[in-house]
A and B are shown apart, each in its own frame.
Chain A
Amino acid sequence: MSTISLLDTRPAAPAQADVAFYDPPMCCPTGLCGPALDQTLLDTNELVLDLKARGLHVERYQMIGSPQAFLANPEVMRLVRALNMAALPITAVRGVVIRSGAYPTRAEVEAALDGGAA
């Protein structure tokens, strides 16, 4: 009814994201409702806004809402099965995992985007 089923056989994402973030579970929007403001999450949020402003396709996925996005990337699932929660967050640039266990820096994302374009 109102949740996504795995048995839904329609193709997952219509187009692969330029940058995809596979986020850890968070209790509230961007984790801001927690007892401390997390600067890394804010950095990441600003990075997302900037990338989108440049016309790039950026997605953020949480397991509970988008399990099929995790399943669609074999490397993401391999990391999740091997390391469990410690694997998250995972960042992929055009489908290739560039960082696991922590959010990437802006420079890391830019480098991967440049590398992918070259």
Chain B
Amino acid sequence: MTHFRFFSGKGGVGKTSMACTTAVHHADSGRRTLIVTTDPASNLGDVFAQPIGHAITPITGVPNLFAMEIDADQATQEYIDHAMAPIRAAFPPQIVAVMEEQMSGPCTAEVAAFDRFTDFIDVPSDGGGAFDVVIFDTAPTGHTLRLIALPVEWTRSIDAAEQGSGQTCIGPTAAIQDAKHKYERAVAIMRDPAATTFTFVLQPEATSLRETRRAMGELHTLGITSQDLIVNAVIPAAEAANPLFAARRAMQQDYLAQIAHALPLPTQQMPLLSGEITGVERLRAVAGLLFAGDATDPLTPALSQGARVSDLSSPAGRGAGGEDSNNDLAAILPRLLPDAGRRTIFFAGKGGVGKTVASCVTAVWLARQGFRTLLLTTDPAAHLGDVLGVPVGDSVAPVPGVPNLSATKIDPQAAGAAYKARILADARARGRSAESIAVMQEELDSPCTEEIAAFDLFIDYAAQDAWDVIVFDTAPTGHTLRMLELPMDWSQQLDVKVFASVDGAAADDVAKARFAGVIAMMRDPRQSTFAFVLYPEATPILEAARAVEELATLGLRPGLVVANYVLPVDADATPFGRARRAMQARYLAELPVRFAAPVLRIPLLTHEVQGLDVLTALGAQLYGYVEVPQ
């Protein structure tokens, strides 16, 4: 029987590396192994140092190993073309255009991705027989959960649709009906501990621990219980010689104890390596470490210093990293300070890159400069309150200790529930029948409701005049993009709504005007700044570049790049630290060219950023002080 292994975790925790390492280990143990990525920022080709692509590809030098990258864009386009073919053939152009708009909505990409994904659960074979192990290097946490939650929600939506109006959120109803058995089978396999293991990759720090806990809880509620852990990037004991790493190692040891206590699951540890994991030989060495050794093994530092020593002497490896405090404020500050009226700053990036810290530091600093500042998050995994060190609730409230600063969070689940309650109360007040209410109740459980409700709240805040600056600690990239795409798609869809109801039409006009205003605001660089947060390594940069590309299709451009966790010069105290700093320097050097925006560097600190004092001090270090006309 085929065993399925799903790797889950935030972008940049080392999920792909650990999935590939595990795949090499299984293949070398004589099991026919397939590794599949559904991650849009997939880099399996980089890890194995050979081209892979949209087909099952044998890995050179590992006889039992095969790999495939599912191209999310291609899968979506194929899905759309397939569904649109009959429409294009028979209907007038105006109708075809409307249908295409509908198919370009946020649901379609997920349907297409999930469809491809269930194909692998059903037919894990390359023609030469079934695989013993199929490893999914899945997309990062939020997206992964959604992907996994979808079949359950869909099953419910489909059932509701059958009893009810015959419509679902997903567009082509017939398509879902057809695929229903596939999705049910996928869910059943995920729930079977004999068939499936979920491996969570995390790092020994607060955000990662919190998000892993949350993700595990969500899987449990979906009936998926077979879980284990890989704790990655554990600083080796020998690096205690380096003061910078010694402090971080102490912090990590503390979190390792917390992880052992809070997440009592089979756990593997992986030491922080000085270079990236690429090529089969290095993967084998790392697999030895992951499956045979442990992080305190005295051999660890020797291995971790293995690769890319030559980078140390390269000119690029020197200069850039040493300039970590020399931020070009003349270029950066105009992107943060209000210019024409109010400024709205969106921090975008995958979970774990330090988006919340970047937004908190910036908001506290702006408030300290005298700007009336609202800090808010739409991230379901929001931990604004933890970073600020004060509670942040569902309604706007001043942050004690920082004049001019207020904060709140938009909880999509709560927003969705409130929205649903409002709709149903209205229907009851109008004397709708119990059957009718029941149908509405089911259909409002669609995956779209929460996002729309959350976005609706966001627009409320965006329309308020009480602020000079609004800082958004946005949701992880994929989610953010759908949220941002929503108003554009929505206003297009409103154009085609031809519902006869008078108050419905009037309300649509109001909504349309609201959306138009928000879209214009987001596109105006004097009013809005999109700041992409990443850290100087391959995966986070690729993910950010992809997000930038998608935003560009909506007419939105990056205003700022925030490079987080930049190693200071002190890291050079040991060869390990020097090697990592050289690696970062190469990536830092490519940022300004790649993104065509000023780069703000935030140094790696020995402690976590928490509390208003720390935020205030870091803000002053990063941004200095400017004269503000009052």
Question: Could you give, for residues 69-82 of chain A, a 1 whenever the CB lies within 8 Å of some chain B CB and a 0 otherwise?
Answer: 01100000100110
Q: Verify if B508 is at the interface (C-beta below 8 Å from A).
A: yes
A59 (CB) vs chain B CBs: closest residue: B166
Q: Verify if B218 is at the interface (C-beta below 8 Å from A).
A: no
Q: Verify if A55 is at the interface (C-beta below 8 Å from B).
A: no
B445 (CB) vs chain A CBs: closest residue: A29
In the complex, the answer to whether B102 meets A64 with C-beta atoms within 8 Å is yes
Q: Verify if A116 is at the interface (C-beta below 8 Å from B).
A: no
Known: A3-B174, A23-B167. 5 other contacts (CB 8 A): A27-B490, A29-B157, A30-B439, A45-B165, A85-B94
- Which single member of A28, A65, A85 contacts B448 (CB below 8 Å)? A28
In the complex, the answer to whether B92 meets A81 with C-beta atoms within 8 Å is yes
In the complex, the answer to whether B95 meets A84 with C-beta atoms within 8 Å is yes
In the complex, the answer to whether A36 meets B511 with C-beta atoms within 8 Å is yes
In the complex, the answer to whether A38 meets B504 with C-beta atoms within 8 Å is yes
In the complex, the answer to whether B87 meets A64 with C-beta atoms within 8 Å is yes
Q: Name A56-107 residues within 8 Å CB distance of B.
A: 59-60, 62-68, 70-71, 77, 80-81, 84-86, 88-89, 101-103
28 pairs, A vs B, C-beta closer than 8 Å? A4-B174, A5-B85, A5-B86, A27-B105, A27-B493, A29-B169, A29-B443, A29-B444, A30-B439, A31-B497, A31-B499, A34-B494, A34-B497, A34-B504, A34-B511, A35-B508, A36-B504, A39-B503, A39-B504, A45-B439, A46-B435, A63-B95, A64-B83, A64-B102, A67-B86, A71-B90, A77-B90, A88-B498
Residues of B contacting A68 in the complex (Cβ-Cβ under 8 angstroms) = 86
Most buried by A among B102, B446, B456, B498: B498
In the complex, the answer to whether A34 meets B508 with C-beta atoms within 8 Å is yes
- Which single member of B168, B174, B497 contacts A66 (CB below 8 Å)? B174
In the complex, the answer to whether B440 meets A24 with C-beta atoms within 8 Å is no
Residues of B contacting A86 in the complex (Cβ-Cβ under 8 angstroms) = 498
A81 (CB) vs chain B CBs: closest residue: B92
Q: Bin chain B's interface residue count.
A: 35 or more
Residues of A contacting B94 in the complex (Cβ-Cβ under 8 angstroms) = 84-85
In the complex, the answer to whether A102 meets B172 with C-beta atoms within 8 Å is no
Q: Verify if B621 is at the interface (C-beta below 8 Å from A).
A: no
Q: Verify if B433 is at the interface (C-beta below 8 Å from A).
A: yes
- Which single member of B436, B439, B496 contacts A85 (CB below 8 Å)? B496
In the complex, the answer to whether B444 meets A32 with C-beta atoms within 8 Å is yes
Q: Verify if B573 is at the interface (C-beta below 8 Å from A).
A: no
Contact A6-B496, Cβ < 8 Å, known A26-B167, A36-B508, A60-B167: no
CB distance from B222 to the nearest CB of A (A): 22
Q: Name B405-449 residues within 8 Å CB distance of A.
A: 423, 426-427, 430, 432-433, 435-436, 439-440, 443-444, 446, 448-449
In the complex, the answer to whether B83 meets A3 with C-beta atoms within 8 Å is yes
User: In the complex, A12 Cα to B87 Cα: how many Å?
Assistant: 16
User: In the complex, A28 Cα to B231 Cα: how many Å?
Assistant: 41
Q: Verify if A2 is at the interface (C-beta below 8 Å from B).
A: yes
Residues of A contacting B89 in the complex (Cβ-Cβ under 8 angstroms) = 6
Residues of B contacting A25 in the complex (Cβ-Cβ under 8 angstroms) = 98-99, 102, 493, 496
In the complex, the answer to whether A45 meets B436 with C-beta atoms within 8 Å is yes
Contact A46-B498, Cβ < 8 Å, known A5-B86, A59-B166, A60-B166: no
Contact A3-B423, Cβ < 8 Å, known A42-B436, A85-B95: no
User: In the complex, A38 Cα to B178 Cα: how many Å?
Assistant: 30
**B residues at A contact (CB < 8 Å):** 82-83, 85-87, 89-92, 94-95, 98-99, 102-103, 105, 115, 157, 160-161, 164-169, 171-175, 178-179, 423, 426-427, 430, 432-433, 435-436, 439-440, 443-444, 446, 448-449, 452, 456, 490, 493-494, 496-501, 503-504, 507-508, 510-511
In the complex, the answer to whether B87 meets A67 with C-beta atoms within 8 Å is yes
In the complex, the answer to whether A30 meets B167 with C-beta atoms within 8 Å is yes
B419 (CB) vs chain A CBs: closest residue: A33
In the complex, the answer to whether B439 meets A49 with C-beta atoms within 8 Å is yes
**A residues at B contact (CB < 8 Å):** 1-6, 23-42, 45-46, 48-49, 59-60, 62-68, 70-71, 77, 80-81, 84-86, 88-89, 101-103
In the complex, the answer to whether A36 meets B168 with C-beta atoms within 8 Å is no
User: In the complex, A56 Cα to B376 Cα: how many Å?
Assistant: 52
In the complex, the answer to whether B440 meets A32 with C-beta atoms within 8 Å is yes
User: In the complex, A41 Cα to B500 Cα: how many Å?
Assistant: 9
User: In the complex, A5 Cα to B508 Cα: how many Å?
Assistant: 34
Residues of B contacting A5 in the complex (Cβ-Cβ under 8 angstroms) = 85-86
User: In the complex, A4 Cα to B499 Cα: how many Å?
Assistant: 27
User: In the complex, A66 Cα to B440 Cα: how many Å?
Assistant: 23
User: In the complex, A77 Cα to B102 Cα: how many Å?
Assistant: 20
User: In the complex, A28 Cα to B420 Cα: how many Å?
Assistant: 14
Residues of B contacting A77 in the complex (Cβ-Cβ under 8 angstroms) = 90
- Which single member of B91, B164, B423, B427 contacts A80 (CB below 8 Å)? B91
Contact A28-B498, Cβ < 8 Å, known A46-B433, A62-B167: no
User: In the complex, A59 Cα to B166 Cα: how many Å?
Assistant: 8
In the complex, the answer to whether A32 meets B90 with C-beta atoms within 8 Å is no
Residues of A contacting B443 in the complex (Cβ-Cβ under 8 angstroms) = 28-30, 32
In the complex, the answer to whether A3 meets B175 with C-beta atoms within 8 Å is yes
Residues of B contacting A81 in the complex (Cβ-Cβ under 8 angstroms) = 92
User: In the complex, A101 Cα to B493 Cα: how many Å?
Assistant: 17
CB distance from B462 to the nearest CB of A (A): 15
- Which single member of B168, B179, B436 contacts A46 (CB below 8 Å)? B436
Residues of A contacting B439 in the complex (Cβ-Cβ under 8 angstroms) = 30, 45, 49
In the complex, the answer to whether B499 meets A6 with C-beta atoms within 8 Å is no
Residues of B contacting A101 in the complex (Cβ-Cβ under 8 angstroms) = 498
Contact A64-B496, Cβ < 8 Å, known A32-B444, A80-B95, A84-B94: no
In the complex, the answer to whether A33 meets B90 with C-beta atoms within 8 Å is no
In the complex, the answer to whether B452 meets A39 with C-beta atoms within 8 Å is no
CB distance from A62 to the nearest CB of B (A): 7
CB distance from A69 to the nearest CB of B (A): 10
User: In the complex, A35 Cα to B161 Cα: how many Å?
Assistant: 21
Residues of A contacting B87 in the complex (Cβ-Cβ under 8 angstroms) = 63-64, 67
Residues of B contacting A34 in the complex (Cβ-Cβ under 8 angstroms) = 494, 497, 504, 508, 511
In the complex, the answer to whether B423 meets A37 with C-beta atoms within 8 Å is yes
CB distance from B173 to the nearest CB of A (A): 4
In the complex, the answer to whether A2 meets B498 with C-beta atoms within 8 Å is no
CB distance from B546 to the nearest CB of A (A): 26
User: In the complex, A23 Cα to B115 Cα: how many Å?
Assistant: 26
Residues of A contacting B430 in the complex (Cβ-Cβ under 8 angstroms) = 39, 42
- Which single member of A24, A46, A62, A70 contacts B432 (CB below 8 Å)? A46
Residues of B contacting A31 in the complex (Cβ-Cβ under 8 angstroms) = 497, 499
Residues of A contacting B90 in the complex (Cβ-Cβ under 8 angstroms) = 6, 67, 70-71, 77
User: In the complex, A20 Cα to B44 Cα: how many Å?
Assistant: 50
CB distance from B518 to the nearest CB of A (A): 13
User: In the complex, A80 Cα to B91 Cα: how many Å?
Assistant: 8
